[in-house]
Amino acid sequence: MATKNMEGFSLSHASILDGATGEDELFGDLYGIRSGSMELDQDSYDNTGDDAILSTWYWANKVNVTIQAGYIPFETFQLLTGSKVISSGSGASEVISAPLYEQRQMNSQPRPMRIRVPSKDSAGVARYLDFILYKVQFQPFSFDGPSYKEGLLVNYNGSALFSSTDHKGQPVLDSVTDEPTTAIGKVVSWGDAI
């Protein structure tokens, strides 16, 4: 039995989920991940009076997601941009092409996303730690490079927004009251990491 204290290390996988079953198999794998981050965009308000801060209010706006990879997955490119990828020929003569920065690519449809981190619990049992984001609005792709000995990197940047539905299209319910609410996502620890 796992303990409820998890330690995450590195980044092993990121993918776009299908939005209906919560699965990513052959759907939107971001292949060759090099780095990633999730940064909470938050703010606060100090309620002042009598020459003192009487209370502070905090809130979150969104989570800024940044993923950098070393490969261009054309199928994921098509999924995120809505533009058509064209393939012709076969074998070594196959040609694959996709439009770069078409107008339609500027504001693509939001998609759910999973970011996977290898982890272990406080007893040292290997597990997975998944960050599941319900609604990520992706920016147009951007590139770093190509540069000498660094190669060409693809940047997948976006904003994880509050959503009333989860990664499977089901209503998001408050964890205490079971009333409908909104959330950015959830974090899940699960076994079979070996």
103 pLDDT higher than 90: no
pLDDT confidence band for 132 (50 / 70 / 90)? very high
Cα dist. 134→18, 56, 124 in Å? 11, 28, 30
13 pLDDT higher than 90: no
- Residue 79: φ, ψ to 5°: -60, -45
Give domain status of residue 1, yes or no.
no
Rounded Cα distance between 35 and 87, Å, is 29
| Mean pLDDT score, 10-31 | 77
Kindly compute the dihedral angle of the four CA atoms of residues 78, 82, 83, 84, in this order, to the nearest 10 degrees: 60
Average pLDDT of the chain to the nearest whole number: 89
Domain hosting 66: range is: 6-42+52-190
Structural domain count, the chain = 1
Residue that is written with structure tokens 């809505």 in the block: 82
121 pLDDT higher than 90: no
Rounded Cα distance between 60 and 133, Å, is 14
pLDDT confidence band for 191 (50 / 70 / 90)? confident
More confident of the two residues 28 and 189 = 189
| Mean pLDDT score, 87-107 | 90
CATH number at residue 97: 2.30.110
Do 114 and 12 form a contact (C-beta atoms < 8 A)? no
150 pLDDT higher than 80: no
Most confident of the following: 26-30, 41-45, 149-153: 41-45
Give domain status of residue 151, yes or no.
yes
In this prediction, residue 48 carries a pLDDT of 95
Cα dist. 111→46, 137, 150 in Å? 35, 7, 30
178 pLDDT higher than 90: yes
Residue type, 105: Q
Do 31 and 47 form a contact (C-beta atoms < 8 A)? no
Query: Minimal CA–CA distance to 159: which of 139, 187, 183, 144?
Result: 139
In this prediction, residue 40 carries a pLDDT of 96
In this prediction, residue 95 carries a pLDDT of 95
In this prediction, residue 43 carries a pLDDT of 97
In this prediction, residue 65 carries a pLDDT of 96
Q: What percentage of the chain reaches a pLDDT higher than 90?
A: 48
Give domain status of residue 13, yes or no.
yes
1 pLDDT higher than 80: no
Rounded Cα distance between 33 and 28, Å, is 13
For 182, the token pair is: 């909104």
More confident of the two residues 131 and 3 = 131
Do 159 and 136 form a contact (C-beta atoms < 8 A)? yes
Give domain status of residue 90, yes or no.
yes
Give domain status of residue 47, yes or no.
no
42 C-beta neighbours (distance < 10 Å), count:
11
